[in-house]
A and B are shown apart, each in its own frame.
Chain A
Amino acid sequence: MTTQTMAYIASPKPRRRVRRFLRERPEWLLVPLLFVVATTAWQAVIRGFDVPVYIFPAPSDIGRALVERLGSGVYIEHGLYTLSEALLGFLAAAVAGIAVGSIIAQFRIVEKTLYPYLIAIQTTPKVAIAPLFIMWFGFGITSKVIVAGIISFFPILVNVIAGLRSTDVQRIELMRSLRASRWQIFWMVRLPSALPMIFAGLQVAIIFSILGAIVGEFVGSNKGLGNLILQMNFNLDTPGVFGALVCLSAMGITLHVIMHRIQRRLLFWADQTKITGV
């Protein structure tokens, strides 16, 4: 017993630290482990059944395609193009969503007037109107920015309205007791109180904006990862398609993490569990 304890204490410190770390955060071991297991199984199945690479590539094929095209800069060039479409659309949607949502939440009459139209627009699949924007704004970046913007506008709008609506009545009463104006109540209490919900909307929207950019590129474009996927698919370059998907997923994760960081910095005062995202 004593010797065991002694041995335990005497064992090299780094190893103990690693062990303790993994006991507290097992996901740091489990997540990569699942990746290794899954890719190994995938590789084995594809090679074992001799599946042609243009039908379903093995992880090694995808890895090769990724390295090759990241090296030649193809993915990066098209990826940055798609990213700028998505981000510009997202920014436009964020500004418009917060502005329109604020006006709707502040004035009952505006809401009553716009509500049926908003429902009509929201229930229309936005993807279906993408061809129109290509026709109106051409194959360049503008049409994609608009599609990305429209798709990410609604989750923001809905959350802005809901957030502004759910202000704690006591906070408003406090402001009223100080004879605050409508705008003071809005800027000093309503808007900051709504920020956690607005951020939940922004989290959804930033992922939607990539979706919008890709859809726009599918419908008509001459650049971007969506365009690249179509080309590679046409040429039966399936590993290349998968590689582009990996790039898109990396882009999505990066944007999500950045948003999460901003949110944690800005909303340090809010109950983080209440802010839901994708």
Chain B
Amino acid sequence: MQSARMQAVAMERTERRSAIRIDGLEKIYETRDGERIQALGPISLDVAEGEFITIVGPSGCGKSTLLRMLAGLIDRSAGDIRVRDTSIVGPQPDIGMVFQSPVLLPWKTTLANVMLPAAVLGLDQATSRRRAESLLDMVGLGAFKDKYPSELSGGMQQRVAIARALLHEPSILLMDEPFGALDAMTRETMNQELRRIWRESGKTIVFVTHSIPEAVFLGTRVLVLSPRPGRIADLVDVELPDDRDLDSMASDRFGQVTRRIRAQFNARGGIE
């Protein structure tokens, strides 16, 4: 009996430590002529609190679908998603979302764009303003707060989008190929910035990408999805040092992990 209680306590402890728990998650689309197409899953996965998990997979494997289900933007067909042990129905207040494109509102200044969640959620204006300003400082755009999105470069706009996603202090950040449209140099800088933000803020991040090096550089774990229907092909512990920089990309471990993931892609004929 005592051992049973011990077990329950242990269970509770592990449960508390997982930020997102995915269980038998599936997405099935129905075509117009009634045909059912399995787009994703079943997938089961635990994302630990404070983890930076990256998801890679070939085009059309449903990685964006997975992320959008986590965000509560689309319904799941089967299975369960629990955030902090509560099964989610629709978007959650504890989640911040960064999309493929920055999706800034062109009629609002940078600062007003970052403050959008405050306006929607009805947060205190003065506090939010201060927070927005410090977030803009964090992403290095403090001097641009009165500029309009059209006056910013693509990389700057995406940084504004990241600041916006953090405004309402969500503990989970979902990112859907946010740097896909950026040039290689900007992308590397953004990757380093994001690592820094993650380490400073302690957020749980789920990051979708189609770039294997990006996935390995950013993540503590990399989830590799198979071609459609997307299932877990591999789950790799990256085990690179926490204070990794661009030189880490030349390390043996980096090469090892990258090769392992690429082998998965090749074995399944999912070369992009």
Contact = CB atoms under 8 A, between A and B. Distances in A.
Contacts of B95: 177
A162 interface: no
Interface in A125-148: none
A68 interface: no
Contacts of A192: 105, 107
B103 A170 contact: yes
A170 B121 contact: no
B73 A179 contact: no
Interface in B144-185: 148-150, 168
A188 B91 contact: no
Contact of A177 (B91, B105, B106): B91
A176 B73 contact: yes
Contact of B97 (A168, A177, A188, A269): A177
Interface residues of B, number: 23
Contacts of A170: 99, 101, 103
B120 A184 contact: yes
Contacts of B148: 269
B206 interface: no
Interface string A157-197: 00000000000101101111111100010001100100000
A178 B120 contact: yes
A270 interface: yes
B119 interface: yes
Contacts, number: 49
B117 A178 contact: yes
B116 interface: yes
Interface in B80-107: 90-91, 93, 95, 97, 99, 101, 103, 105-107
B105 A189 contact: yes
Contacts of B116: 174, 178, 188
Contacts of B150: 269
B120 A180 contact: yes
B107 A269 contact: yes
Contacts of A270: 106
Interface string A65-108: 00000000000000000000000000000000000000000000
A47 B121 CA distance: 75
A159 B73 CA distance: 29
A197 to B, nearest CB: 14
B95 to A, nearest CB: 7
Contact of B91 (A168, A178, A189, A269): A178
B209 to A, nearest CB: 18
Contacts of A179: 90-91, 93, 120-121
Interface string A246-278: 000000000000000000000101100000000
A171 B105 contact: yes
Contacts of B71: 177
A174 B103 contact: yes
Interface in B91-144: 91, 93, 95, 97, 99, 101, 103, 105-107, 116-117, 119-121
Nearest to B165: A177
Given A175-B120, A180-B120, A192-B105, 5 more contacts: A170-B103, A174-B99, A178-B116, A178-B117, A269-B149
7 contacts: A173-B73, A174-B103, A177-B72, A177-B97, A178-B116, A188-B116, A270-B106
In the A-B complex, the 4 residue pairs with the smallest Cβ-Cβ separation, listed nearest first, are: A269-B106, A177-B97, A178-B120, A269-B107
